[in-house]
Amino acid sequence: MSLVNRSAGRGLKWRRNKNNKTEGLPDLLFSGILSNSMERTLILCKPDCMRKNLAGEVVLRFQNAGLRLQAAKMIRLTDALLTEHYSHLTDKPFFPEIVNFMKSEPVLALILTGENAVIVVRDLLGPTDSRKAAKGTVRGDLGESNMLNIAHASDSVENAEIEVKRFFRSDEIPV
Ligand code: ADP
């Protein structure tokens, strides 16, 4: 069965063929916009996702796109961890609200791996504001707002490496 992703955020269209290879993304790869690399990325299924009992659906969407689950754990986030993780937002008026929201329920932290995993996951997720995310994306289908947007996903390969180490000890990642 082939799986098709029609992306809102970046206008990417790609599919996996019966051999589980991507078709569509290679156009971008050949044009030099993307390089084809095995990556890992950090996901947090946020408190709204956990409250709505949607973690399984979110993980399934990523797995159906060919990504593999490398590690998973439930965590209750702390002020210190959130201040580090959202350091780019500490001066925003809504920062205290985000911290309270992210602490309100334990979250499911995941490491997913795959070809171009960072951009593929961000594309499946959709833009930050769920109200602006297209149907077919995780946030567009399941989210409600800017803050209640179901999941966090690393936004670059560099940040993915930092975030994996922020949320997982090396002995929590099976080899
Ligand atoms: P993203 O999670 O899409 O990478 P950001 O890093 O900009 O987006 O923001 C981190 C998180 O902060 C968002 O996922 C969202 O939960 C929250 N957030 C961002 N902008 C707002 C806003 N204007 N109002 C409330 N919460 C926001």
Per-residue pLDDT tens over the stretch 131-142 = 999 999 999 999
DSSP state of 170: G
* Average pLDDT of the residues of the chain: 87
Q: Which of 24-38, 44-58, 84-98, 143-157 has the lowest mean pLDDT?
A: 24-38
pLDDT of 36 reads 74
- Whether the predicted pLDDT of 24 surpasses 70: no
- Whether the predicted pLDDT of 1 surpasses 50: no
- Whether the predicted pLDDT of 3 surpasses 50: no
Cβ–ligand 1 distance for 113 under 6 Å, the answer no
Domains located in the chain, CATH noted:
35-172 (3.30.70.141)
Place of tokens 């947090």: 44
Q: How far apart, in Å, are the Cα atoms of 91 and each of 141, 161, 163?
A: 30, 24, 21
Q: Which of 122, 147, 155 to mutate to test the pocket of ligand 1 (most atoms within 8 A of CB)?
A: 147
Cα–Cα distance, 152 to 42 (Å, whole number): 8
